[in-house]
Amino acid sequence: MNLHHLRLFAAVVEQGGFTNAARALRLSQPAISKSLNELERQLHVSLIERGARGVNLTEPGRALYARARELFGVERVAERELRELRGLKRGSLRVAASTTIATYMLPPVLGRFRLRHPSVRIRATSANTRSVLRLLLESRTDVALVEGPISHDAVDVVPWREDELVVIAHPDHPLAAQSDVGVEDLMLETVLVREPGSGTREVAERALALHGARLTRTMRLGGTEAIKQGVAAGLGIAIVSRAAAADQITLGRIAVVPVRGLQIRRWLTQLKLRQRSDSAAARELRMLLDEEVGPLASVGDASGDIGASAGGGGEPRT
């Protein structure tokens, strides 16, 4: 496979068409079309369907583009590491974390990193668990932290710290006044949830499934902060990280609802590509992350999934 052809194919996809790709790469449009035709001829497949509204990837095109992103991501990592070794720049650190971690747990660690290494440029990205995994596989982040269960052949999952999910409601909500709330009572309420791909949502749904319950009355909101504000406004109840809810609980705007038999604990984890070594900046951040929680006393009991009263335990999922 000609990597030059592959690079031009990826540019056409990323730029949304031949004209934009030609402009971005400062090449002629016929040259890019010829390159793509040659790549399709070499591979004996059609990669792109050309139409009046732009270009659409075929199934082989989608598969090839996914691998191209991973390949060129590794290339960027190699170039960065060589530049750092040559001393051409002071270094950079890219961190991707799922939303709860990025918002409530990561900032103090990044603050300490900045104090120790003020010349290193930090780029932090907040996304859901699935998106963080994709960034790691494409070598677009140096350190990845997630709150949802992950299983991928190319990735090691390393427990970082434990987290607890709790049911929250407005302090005047009827459930907040009850002394004996069951999982079945939750199913009668509107539950505010994150988007599919959210680690918190996936862990909560799995914990409820252990009790034979499934969310049917939901309202989707764009992030944990929006969910907390929605609960405080009386839109419904929610299941969120206790760490994420702590500020609004302290202010008395929301209340934790104890639910009989429902205890949801999970491991927040670091993801590492098995075939890639850490940069110096990434190693330093991992050391600070370990200092944040101290040594893991019982990694063997960590679950990359959930720990609920109806079950849990086992080795971290990898």
State pLDDT tens for residues 159-205: 998 999 999 999 999 999 998 999 999 999 999 999 888 888 999 99
Domain count, the chain: 3
Is the Cβ–Cβ distance between 122 and 110 less than 8 Å? yes
DSSP 8-state secondary structure symbol assigned to residue 306? -
316 in a structural domain:
no
Count CB atoms within 10 A of the CB of residue 55. 18
Mean pLDDT of 279-303: 65
How many Å apart are CA 101 and CA 53, to the nearest integer? 40
How many Å apart are CA 291 and CA 270, to the nearest integer? 14
Domain boundary among 218, 250, 265: 265
pLDDT at residue 257, as a whole number: 95
Q: What is the CATH number of the domain that holds 203?
A: 3.40.190.10
pLDDT at residue 114, as a whole number: 86
State pLDDT tens for residues 80-108: 766 665 543 467 889 999 988 999 899 99
Q: Which of 116-120, 122-126, 297-301 has the highest mean pLDDT?
A: 122-126
Q: CA-CA distances (angstroms) from residue 295 to 74, 186, 289, 301? A: 31, 36, 10, 14
pLDDT at residue 149, as a whole number: 83
Which residues sit opposite 48 in a β-bridge? 57
Tell me the residue range of the domain where 190 lies.
163-265
- Residue 264: pLDDT band (50, 70, 90) is very high
311 in a structural domain:
no
Both tokens assigned to 190: 């509107």
312 in a structural domain:
no
